[in-house]
Amino acid sequence: MKSVSIDTIIETDSDEDTKLKSAQKNLQRHVAQSPDFLPHLSAKAGDCDGMIEDIIASHYDQESRRWEDWPRGLDPGSVYPALHTLMKLCCDPEVHFLNKIEGGSNASASVFLTSFSGRHTVICHEYNELMTQEDLFCLGAHVQDYLSSHLFFKYAYGILFSYHRITFVRFDRAGAILSESLSMAEQPESFIRCLSGFAALAKDSDALDDSISFLKQPFLLSGRSAHDATATFAIEECLYDKRSFRGSSTRIFQIHDVDHPEDKYVLKDWWRSRDDADEAEILRKVSGLFGLPEYVSHWIVRGSNGLVQDTAFLDDNLVPVPEFIAERERNMINYGDPDLDEEEEPPFNRELRIHSRLVLRHKGHHLVPFRESPLVVLTAIHDAILGHWSLYKAGYVHRNVSYGNILVLPSPIPATNYQNYAGLPVPALSNQCTAILNDFDNTVLSSELIAAVDADQRSEEKGTIAYMSAHLLLTKSRINESYRSLVLDDLESFLWVLIGTATWVACPSPVPTDWDNSAECWIQEGLFREDIPNLSSFAYAKYGFLDRFSSKSWSRFKFCDDTSRRYASVITKLSDYMLDRNSDRKKATRAKQPFPIDDDALYLDILNILRESIQSLS
């Protein structure tokens, strides 16, 4: 059983096996082949008939149908040197073809601010006779490093080649698109033409995000100010980097307004799926409410040509590659299709993703650095729950409460600064807000969830499974005809965040005899794991964890760490409460009777448990 880190801010494990698994996760279900790719490359090459004739005349033997210096024999060795010679003859010199074995990984946390060198890179990977999934994963791992290391590249390009054949690949935030393969020996004219066109495609200005000035530091980007006027922001530092080439590829930066350097903000840069909630619009509507981020501005990123930056590319005739639709992504759950059984193979999915930016007022910090101070952690979770309540009262359900989405503010904000401070269900602790609930990608209108159930439809559920409620993992449904609480599952998620934070401590050295049976060991290896066999068994495991934290358990968890023990009482009280409410939910569903506790009471109960614990710590 392999555990993974609670802190997904920066991936620190950089070994090759981890990178390959990350590339596999990024590409599974998101690889297609386009019959239009090679014709597109031929068109990009332009009028180059004379160049092709010269290269073939000088470097290709028509009789033996071989390229000059091409390896021979049973064990011919690498093709790359001979291929690279042809690349230099037919491709723009500003395009650098990097064999994946040249140099190491370029994945340090700070290298993303490297200025543009003026060279466009195509990453190459050589394989043996038959191309396998692992070959594309290997290429994808190096592309992931490349895109993570360069803020201003929107896409990346790669080549897979063997002794006989070559395949061109485009990587973007929606996955990978492969060309049909070409025989380099049997189709010399098409090979040189497409190779030249591929270099032109890699150099295309469309591959660069020209809304950023990246030739020198600090990087500058154009955007919108709080008054919806044009503004220029300077990037100071990266606060978060998802380090993923497919998906949202979220990056968080600290920035300042160039005209007003004292005005510092937080910028979220991400590729939003067209089908996701419009997080920025939701935040604009709820900004100013207790426990939620303060909105400044947002915009869809456009190039200097005025076109929206998105992942549209040869999308009309894409053919899914069967080898890449065989596994379900396990870190994120998505129950969008009511007929999709948990064990069925998920379909191919290429999303249209749109480059978006959002500016917020305050930056925050995650909980684990404050673990030694339970007072800070519990107060932060208390205030984030009030943020969840604020969002709910505005008509929305968050649906993705997780460790990464609760941020401790650098300095508390007076409660009176918020529009709804007087109407909070409980008074703000010390009359201030210490933390916010962040990230609204999965947020949905409450009315839409209820309407879906009334129409006998299953609403789409997403979230990080380590923090999802056991009930939601098991039933795939937040509400039903009898049970109408929209918030209980998210409130349980706050408990899982608390449990994960409280127990996140390194195994002592030497290892204590009771470590393997401790709460810390069980949670780290059981809750944060990659090899989840199926969601139902994971849900029952989570029920088992709650039972072992509860006061009624015959085999209660014991804590190994002194700081963890300081959280024991509040975890027990909250576990008791969640188990009781789950029992109520089951009874109501079986009897087809209304759930006995409304959402306002659920909030009050959880908040009061936390407030009692906070008071005892004070």
Cα(264)–Cα(411) distance, integer angstroms: 14
User: What does the pLDDT look like over 523-563, one tens digit per residue?
Assistant: 999 988 777 778 888 999 999 999 999 999 999 999 999 99
Residue type, position 519, single letter = A
What does the mean pLDDT of the chain come to?
Answer: 85
406 has a pLDDT exceeding 90:
yes
What was the pLDDT predicted at 482? 55
Q: Do 193 and 48 meet the contact criterion of CB atoms below 8 Å apart? A: yes
Cα(121)–Cα(106) distance, integer angstroms: 13
The burial class, CB within 10 Å (0-12 / 13-18 / 19+), for 511 is: exposed
7 has a pLDDT exceeding 80:
no
User: What does the pLDDT look like over 299-358, one tens digit per residue?
Assistant: 999 988 889 999 999 988 898 888 776 544 434 444 433 333 344 445 788 899 999 999
| pTM metric for this prediction | 0.86
441 has a pLDDT exceeding 60:
yes
108 has a pLDDT exceeding 80:
no
CA atoms within 13 Å, Cβ hemisphere of 584? 16
Closest CA relative to residue 506, chosen from 497, 514, 515:
515
Q: What is the mean pLDDT of residues 81-93?
A: 89
Give the pLDDT band of residue 22 (cuts 50, 70, 90): confident
Tokens of 234: 């300077």
What was the pLDDT predicted at 10? 29
Give the pLDDT band of residue 463 (cuts 50, 70, 90): confident
Alpha-carbon dihedral 327, 530, 467, 587, rounded to 10 degrees: 70
CA 55 to chain CA centroid, Å, is: 45
User: What does the pLDDT look like over 109-132, one tens digit per residue?
Assistant: 333 455 555 667 888 999 887 888
Which residue reads 């090899």 in tokens? 531
Closest CA relative to residue 286, chosen from 406, 493, 437, 402:
437
What was the pLDDT predicted at 346? 55
Query: Angle at the Cα of 264 (from 260 to 270), degrees rounded to 5?
Result: 120
Q: Is 131 helix (H, G, I), strand (E, B) or coil?
A: coil
Q: In sequence order, what DSSP letters do the residues of 241-291 get, joined into one string?
A: E---SSS---EEEEEEETTEEEEEEEEEEEEEETTS--HHHHHHHHTTSTT
What was the pLDDT predicted at 103? 40
Q: Is 529 helix (H, G, I), strand (E, B) or coil?
A: strand
Could you tell me if residue 461 is left (phi over 0), alpha (psi between -120 and 50 degrees) or otherwise beta? beta
User: What does the pLDDT look like over 217-254, one tens digit per residue?
Assistant: 788 888 888 777 888 999 998 888 887 888 898 999 99
